[in-house]
Structure formats: structure tokens, C-alpha cells
Chain A
């Protein structure tokens, strides 16, 4: 309970910071003016741009962190992350294919296609990683994800390179950022995120059972396969929708659940909501850091999370006993 209260408090603080700092810092009075809809001063206008951005960062961060926690639970793999497993890459490939060949141009179209791509990639990578003796070890899944990601990105360049116009759109999308957020994009992605979140939260207790191992879970009367598929489907909806609006953002899904597990333990009924709050905090803080570290330019949040998250991944790998992996 204590942690939940702390996280909510931190979330509020981060929200205020995110509206305050940027290429131009604003005074509290201007924040109030911006929130009440005034765009008279430059600062107030900056605030009214930063509010949707902050909301989108929080939504995307929460979605990715919950997706990561669910994937880690469902595959019983500590290294599961939408980026590592190539799921973001699959969503990117699907969206670019849609833009280039099917004239895709609406935000909701991006979301649907992104979700299909994410699901396809997740299935493919899981299949590659799990066939053969020994099943889907973290090493195999990570390798299968990395190889698939390279293959996806080659296919993607094959589609992109002859089409300069698509490429100029894509190269800004591919870095992963929330800077382009508007109230409309938020409203479009919100239903998908809510559905994904509900599915994930609903499978929290079956994830707890899965954590006991397949045999024991089945012995306790759990439908192992159904539980795993349902939970993963929720995670894929979250990844696909988040990637469609914000581009591929890596490592939030890896870092946050691990830290939250240290704080609140392994019970998914607590872990998932706390991860959601933690992901929202991490992504918003990364966004703030990206905005102020290279003023007046901005570093997209996807770059910042990769630079924070990859060392974390490496530390995690170093701590693991590799025989178990």
C-alpha cells in the first residue's frame, strides 16, 4: 500500500515537472494559465503543448511496462521485453508496409496494423525460440528476437529505400517519441490501451499460477495454455498500440517490472498496477531528460530509454546464473 501511495505521489510530481521543463521553462502562473486554455503568452502555449505530451508519455510508459511484466510472467523469462523480442520491429514493419502498399494514413489504421504486426512478430519469435530441445530459454528467445529484428529491418529498408516520401515520415517515427502528441491521438489510442490493460490485469492471478511452473499450474486446475495466450494477447495489444502512436520505445518493459518486483514482490495483482505507475514515471522522466539535456534540441524518449535500459539489461544478464538461462 505504501508503495502505491508513493508511486501516485511521484507520478503527480513528475507530471508537474514535465509541464514545467523543456526548451523553455515556465513559471507556475503560466502553467495555470495554460491549463485553463489560455495561449496568450509563449509559456502558456508551451504548457498547452506539453500537457497532451505528458499524458501520452504516461499512457505509453504504463502500457509498455505492463506488457513487459506480463510477457516476463507468461514466458517465465526475465529478459522478455518488446524491443528485445523483436515485437516493436514487427509492428514497425507492418506499419511501413501499410503506408507503402495500402495507403494507410489514419492514426487508428496505424494502431490496428501495428497490433497485427506485433502479434505476428511475437508468434514468430516465440516459435523460433521454443522449438527444439530445451524449449524457449531466455537465451534462445533473445537471439530469435534479435535475428528477427534484423530481418524485419532489412525488409523494411527494402520497402522504404525506393520510396523517399515514406522514408522521410518513417525516419522520424522510428526513433520513438511522444513529442507529436495531440488530444486526438490520445483519444484514438486510449480505447486500445484500456482493453489491453483490462485483459492484462484480469490475467494477473493466472500469471501467479503460471509462475509455479506448467505442471504444478495444470495440477492446480489452471488452463495453462489459455492463460498464457490470453495474457500474451493483452500484452501484444498494449505493445502494438503504444508502438503505433509513439514509435518503437525499448527497455521500459524490461526495466520497470524488475524494479517493481524488488519493491512489491512477485504477486502480479500488485506487480501489474505498480509497474503501470512505474512505467509512466520512467517514460515521463526520460522524456523530460531528453528535452533538457540537449536544449534547445530534443532527444527522443526512445533514445533515452535505450541508453538507460540497455546497461540495465546487461547488468541483469551479468547477475543471472547463465546455466539457468
Chain B
């Protein structure tokens, strides 16, 4: 009897669920598509505008390999590597950051707060000032240091299973230690090393070159898809360790895999442009706010990160007379956002992502 009655109900529920799923997928695709278009537009704008304006046709000519007088150098050699580096590092910081924020279920727990970027900076500054290393070696060192820092935070926080809050606090302690190293080395730096070393404090695209853009491009191509393929596991981890284990997810292994992929992206991004402050901190929550509770925020967060870096770098170059490093703009943006988080958390409680 009951089966007969509930049969149409099941059909109804199924169609409702399917419709909801379709609606959410459409919304995710819509938001991501719009973000991608905006990023492309910002990229194009940063190629066209500057001290001199070049028409889209001229820029396109340069991009397709033709010789355009004037534009070939300005756009091809100066603006293009810079814009590409901005785009790629933004992707890295956004994607890597949202993984940490989602996993630790705290919008404040972004990698720039818990010491991973600081670890990379400390190694890089040390490499430049003390060891006098070149670009590639410095990047490799920054990467190794970021991985080492992430791993040691993870191991220090691991006691009969990791704990989110403990990981965050230990990260803050490690960040303070790395910061001490950075301060010390900077105070010892010779005047001529100072500009290069300062890049590792605030994040700077002023001397972006193709050499430096290539490793980060490789990282995005390899680690980006890997991270996207882990997006489903991240969504389950967000529900809490107990729930994730209950639905059959290997919790610690998934977490380690996610951390390694995210740290790899962050480290390559940091090696290319320095620790651009707060891109991770801002990108994840903005993406989540735009999406609503639909789908994985990894790709949208990456796009928001790219957009942030492109726009902030454009403003930093042309809006203030002197060419400021991009990290200063994004870092200053972080302060009002923190206030916004505060206002919002007083209504809904907590600072969950």
C-alpha cells in the first residue's frame, strides 16, 4: 500500500533533485564563465593601456607574432610577460588559498596568514642576499621552503589526527619565525640587493620576465587540473572529518594530497612574484560569495585571484604617480575586507568560508 502511494513521491523528489542539480550546475557555469570573461577583459586592458595606448588590432598583431612598430617591444616584451605572470600567480594564489580556507573551514586561515608564503619569502630573501643566487635557484629554494614549512606545520599539528585550529595557530607561530628571518636578512642587505629582496616582502611584478613566468605556467598546467580533480574530495572534507570518514573518504590521505597540490601552486606563484599579500585571503571568500552554495569554489577562486592581481597591478602601476608593488594594493584591500568579515560574522556568527 505504502509503496503504491509513495511511488509518485519518489518520482517527484527525483525530478526536484535533478532540477536542483541542473540549476546549480548552470549557476556554477554561469558564474565561472562570467569570471573567465572578466579576466580575459582585464588581461586585454592591461595589454592595451599604459603610458601609450595600442589598439586591439595592434595588440592582436603582436600576439599572433607579427612585427608591429613600437607595440612589438612595449606589448610583447614588457606588458605581455607582466600580464601573463599576473594572471598565472593570481590563479595560483586563488586556487591554493581556497583549498586551505575550505579545508580549515575558516576564511581567515589563508596561506598568507599561516606562514606558507612567509616561508617561501624567507628562503628567497636568504638566497638573494646571503648566498647571492640567481633567479632559478631562488625559485627552487622558495619552493622547497614552502613545501618544508607546510609539511612541518602539518606534522606539528598532527596528533592523533590533524586539527584545524591547531594547524592555524602553529602556522601563525611558524610565520612569525620566518618573518624574523626575513627582517634580519633585509636589515643586513646591501643597498643594491634591497629592491630584489623587497619584492619578497610585498610581492611585485615590476620586473616580470618570461624566464620567471615559465615555471609558474608549468605549475598551473600540471597542478591546476590535479587540484580540480580533487575538488570533490575537498567538498566532502568541508563537511568535517567525521562525516568525510563516514562516507568512506580516506581523510588524511586526501588532505595531504590537497595540501601538497595547493602548496605547490602557492610556492610557484610566490617564486614568480613574491608573496602578493592577501590574494588568497580575498579570492576564496569572494568566489564563494559570488557562487552561493553551488559546486566547488576552486576554479572560480583562481579566476577571482587572477582578476585581483591583474586589476591591482594595473592600479599600482598607473594610479599613484610612483609605481607601487602590486602587493601593497592587495594588502591594503585586505584591511577593509577584514572589517567586512567582522560585520558579517557578527550577524551570522563565525568566520566560516
Binding site for B on A (CB under 8 A): 79, 83-84, 127-128, 131-134, 138-140, 142-144, 146-148, 150-151, 153-155, 157-158, 161-162, 171-172, 174-176, 250-251, 297, 299-300, 302-303, 306-307, 309-311, 313-314, 317-318, 320, 322, 325
Enumerate chain B residues within 8 angstroms of A303, measured Cβ to Cβ: 180-181, 183-184
Given A150-B112, A151-B335: A84 and B166 within 8 A (CB)?
A: no
Given A150-B277, A151-B334, A174-B183: A157 and B327 within 8 A (CB)?
A: yes
Interface centre among B184, B322, B348 (most CB of A within 10 A): B184
CB distance from A149 to the nearest CB of B (A): 9
Enumerate chain A residues within 8 angstroms of B328, measured Cβ to Cβ: 154, 157-158, 161
- Give the docked Cα–Cα distance between A144 and B341 (Å): 10
For B, the interface residue count at a CB cutoff of 8 angstroms equals 57
Interface centre among B109, B112, B156, B179 (most CB of A within 10 A): B179
Assess the B109–A143 pair: CB atoms within 8 A. yes
Assess the B176–A306 pair: CB atoms within 8 A. yes
Assess the B281–A147 pair: CB atoms within 8 A. yes
The 3 closest A-B pairs by CB, nearest first: A154-B331, A306-B180, A133-B349
Enumerate chain B residues within 8 angstroms of A150, measured Cβ to Cβ: 112-113, 277-278, 331, 334
Partner of B338, one of A142, A147, A157: A147
Assess the A157–B349 pair: CB atoms within 8 A. no
- Give the docked Cα–Cα distance between A79 and B341 (Å): 22
Q: Does B296 count as interface, using CB distance less than 8 angstroms? A: no
- Give the docked Cα–Cα distance between A150 and B278 (Å): 8
6 residue pairs of the A-B complex, CB under 8 angstroms, read A147-B334, A151-B278, A154-B277, A155-B331, A175-B184, A176-B183
Interface residues of B in 306-352 (CB under 8 A from A): 321-322, 324-325, 327-332, 334-335, 338-339, 341-342, 345-346, 348-351
Given A172-B187, A306-B176: A154 and B334 within 8 A (CB)?
A: yes
Given A143-B106, A174-B187: A127 and B342 within 8 A (CB)?
A: yes
Assess the A299–B334 pair: CB atoms within 8 A. no
Interface centre among B174, B277, B338 (most CB of A within 10 A): B338
Enumerate chain B residues within 8 angstroms of A148, measured Cβ to Cβ: 335, 338
Interface residues of B in 163-222 (CB under 8 A from A): 163, 165-166, 168-170, 172-177, 179-181, 183-184, 186-188, 198, 201-202
